[in-house]
Chains A and B, each alone.
Chain A
Amino acid sequence: MANKDRQPFDNTVIEWVDSRLPVFTMMQKEYGVFPTPRNFNYFWNFGALSMVFLILMILTGIFLAMNYTPHADMAFNSVERIMRDVNSGWMLRYMHMNGAHFFFAVVYIHIFRGMYYGSYKNPRELLWILGVVIFILMMATGFMGYTLPWSQMSGWGATVITSLFSAIPVVGEGLVELLWGGFSVDNPTLNRFFALHYLFPFLIVAVVALHVWALHVTGSNNPLGIEPKTKRDTLPFHPYYTMKDLFGISVVLVIYALFVFFAPNSLGHADHYIPFDPLVTPPHIVPEWYFLMFYAILRSITFDFNIYICAGLGAMAIAALPLYQNRDKALNLPPIFAFGALGGILFILGFVAQEAGGNLISLPLTSFHIITAKLGGVLAMFGAIGALLVLPWLDWHKVRSARFRPMYKFFLILFVINAVVLGIMGAKVAEQPWVIISQLATGYYFAFFFVIVPLLSRIEVAKPLPRSIYEEVVKKIAVVALICVVGFGGFSNNALAAGDAPAAPQREWSFDGMLETFDKGELQRGFQVYKEVCAACHGMKRLSYRNLTGLGYSDAQVKSIASEYEVTDGPNDEGDMFDRPARPSDNFKDPFENDNAARFANNGALPPDLSLIAKARHGGADYLHAILTGYVEAPEGFEMNPGMSYNKFFSGHQIAMAPPLMDDQISYADNTPATVEQMAHDVSTFLTWASEPSQDDRKRTGWKVVIFLTFFSILLYLVKKKIWKDVEK
């Protein structure tokens, strides 16, 4: 077959393999000499980057799966075991968690690149569609992966997203039960999500292979959007683009390492560190940032579709129809405007009548709903993804690159801003004015795809195209891409409202910053506070006595601390349970036998386990300190329930925990005066340590990795520079 025109290799082993299975010939053809437009800017790195993150996710994922238990009772603890006990487990877990964020970020930039330079147009439609399929698979995978830690966010995220399908008429309810394997999100759901979360990445790999195959049939698009004509327009893929890609990858890995090692939870939510409780939904349930845009579109449909709204939408569709017909003839504008205006008016009338009830206008038959709000939201959300799929047929303008299409460029940039606005709205509480803003933004989202883009295809006059790629001077846009990556984290966490309590004031901590480590004195004092005060009601069951060596205690000291506690063991040879002194390998003893006993002893309130408290509360140590020192007299007229105390920083201000600290309540082993302030500070430090004992280690490793990768990036930059030397002249 193709072997006929194969060139022999000098190396006999390579030649032996290649003459039987020409993988080396293929590699050389597709990645060695593959003719690639010479004018790629750094936006073209993001395809290779997506691949890198896909590999990174699969690799870390496989090793995480070796230590993870997909069972409702054990999943959360097994993740904590990975964080605390498994060798480099914390690193794998944080690489995987932040890897998801970066994977989506680079894919979003990759998609934007495609939209900006018209990479979806003839002959690359199928290439684009395969890309959207990958994106959809990624969303499914990301969502199911988010369920696996079985935290509050996991369980409730899974509940909300699976419940989307209940909006489907007739089969919806049954479908949801099928997805759950029960009547709520429970162990069967977790089990199947784990199985599918492991399977889907390999489906992604398969579709990526098709995506790359299609790419190698059509060849790459480029910033000018014109096809390379002569040899002067292209360069061999290797070494020019291999080195350029490697350099770009290395730079993004530096940023990634900064997140993994120094701000691993900055893109997540505190509720992700609270075990799933099927009886209590957290007050703000927000998806990860990469779903926020679609989530906002889902939530923007707050209204049922009455006949006026449907008629309005219908009229608008009729108005838009001529855009798609007789593409080479001029548009007949009057009917378009007439139907468009009619549709708009009907829609607004129906909308106002629906939303404002009978107060503003009352129309007959508004109570008859063709589509419910719930179904409407789901349709809008899936429609938003579907719009991407059909994009190649919505834009048939001959010119690809937005560089030569000023109008398209303007509306596309507006589209990106609109997408960011939607993202911010997705993180807000569903209240005005956010609802109306997200409704308008949703309107623009669909108008962009179904009206603006086809309209521009007909009327936009493009700027003259250069005759060949070689004639155009190469411009570089590295900074833009990188700023996007750094900036994307901004809106996920901060958008969360803190409720009615003021935010905890920021304090100085020994462990703040990238270089600082925990102060051992503070830790030991903090442990003493926990042991002598907090431990009366709060357990820390994810900690073992052996972990206390991390506070600077020797093995012998840990042994003696452990032996102060009696734990139940057994059964012995006679079948009886017996008490014995705790050993370093035992977990901290809980003050109560079980949750019910704890509630009973505390007026019905359950004192939360403190092992993860610093991570499970927004604000971390600042918040803990604020709560411990935030007890004041209730203001005039504030109604207190019996048994509750007033606390400035507690949401709702009524807290079941009585003021726990008093001056000189304990005497510190190192004779530090035990003021409330001091004790609050020490115990908050201790609890922060306890929430992630590997934190100091993480930062130390982080420095090594970041310095290494920076050095490597510089090296690669020099290599790239040297290779490109002759080309860039």
Chain B
Amino acid sequence: MSPLLTVVLEDYMTKKTNNSKRDFLYLTAAATGAVGAASMGWSIIDSMNPAADTLALSSTEVNISQIESGQAITVMWRGKPVFIRRRTKQEIKDAEDIDVSTLRDPQTDNARIVDGKKEWLVVVGICTHLGCVPLGQKQAEVKGEFGGWFCPCHGSHYDSSGRIRKGPAPKNLAVPEYKFINDTTIKIG
């Protein structure tokens, strides 16, 4: 139905600016064609959105009983890495002691964890700058200047609450939707 657009254009080009040709009937036809083409176009483009089976897979259960204090694991959720970190006393203290108003993306540590589960930090492991996976999960990896994560791509530093402290990233590491099913299992998504 896109030929209609061409027709309108050509109408212009043939310079028949005679007004009776652009009367109600032609406009209705052109508008109808445009509506049809647009809704058809949308259905086709909609096929690129996540399909029903992809959407249905959007939750994941993780056993966290094996994680020691100071350690972290990475799990896959919706094709993305999720960092689950069991923080040490010191790390929790560092995260809580900072003056929130000095942060680029101000957020208290409490707002980023589940009440009463201070030890556990769960964040999406995707740098909010341009999508690299920051370092800092493994013992041997650099954790950046603030003891959290360091993104090697363009040098963003995150603290032990996953908040952006230095570098180009605009936001804190995202906290996914998750809940504790029991003390040793969390469900993400």
Contacts and interface: CB of A to CB of B under 8 A. Distances in A.
A238 B47 contact: no
B111 interface: no
B43 interface: yes
B177 interface: no
18 contacts: A10-B15, A14-B13, A27-B13, A28-B13, A31-B6, A31-B10, A63-B44, A63-B47, A81-B51, A86-B47, A89-B51, A92-B47, A238-B10, A584-B56, A712-B1, A712-B29, A715-B29, A719-B25
Contacts of A716: 29
A719 B29 contact: yes
Nearest to A18: B13
A568 to B, nearest CB: 15
A397 interface: no
Contact of A66 (B6, B33, B47, B57): B47
B4 A246 contact: yes
Interface in B86-123: none
B111 to A, nearest CB: 30
Given A238-B7, A546-B56, A719-B25, A573 B66 contact: yes
Given A584-B56, A712-B32, A24 B7 contact: no
Given A31-B10, A85-B52, A712-B36, A91 B25 contact: no
A92 B44 contact: yes
B46 A242 contact: no
Count chain A CB atoms within 10 A of each CB in B14, B25, B54 and give the residue with the most.
B14
Contacts of B25: 715, 718-719, 722
Contacts of A565: none
Count chain B CB atoms within 10 A of each CB in A24, A33, A66, A87 and give the residue with the most.
A87
Given A81-B53, A86-B51, A712-B1, 17 more contacts: A28-B10, A31-B10, A63-B44, A85-B51, A85-B53, A89-B47, A92-B44, A92-B47, A238-B10, A239-B10, A242-B3, A245-B3, A544-B53, A544-B56, A573-B63, A712-B36, A719-B29
A89 B44 CA distance: 8
A428 B79 CA distance: 51
A28 B63 contact: no
A709 B35 CA distance: 11
B7 A67 contact: no
A572 B66 CA distance: 12
A639 B15 CA distance: 84
B48 interface: yes
Nearest to A572: B63
Nearest to A547: B52
B13 A246 contact: no
B46 A87 contact: yes
Interface of B: 1, 3-4, 6-7, 10-15, 25-26, 28-29, 32-33, 36, 43-49, 51-54, 56-57, 63, 66
B51 A88 contact: no
A367 interface: no
A9 to B, nearest CB: 7
Given A81-B53, A86-B51, A715-B28, A236 B14 contact: yes
Interface in A120-143: none
Contacts of A557: none
Contacts of A89: 47, 51
Contacts of B45: 63
B57 A88 contact: no
Contacts of B32: 708, 711-712, 715
A416 interface: no
Contacts of A219: none
A10 B4 CA distance: 22
A585 B13 contact: no
A585 B53 contact: yes
Nearest to B28: A715
A197 interface: no
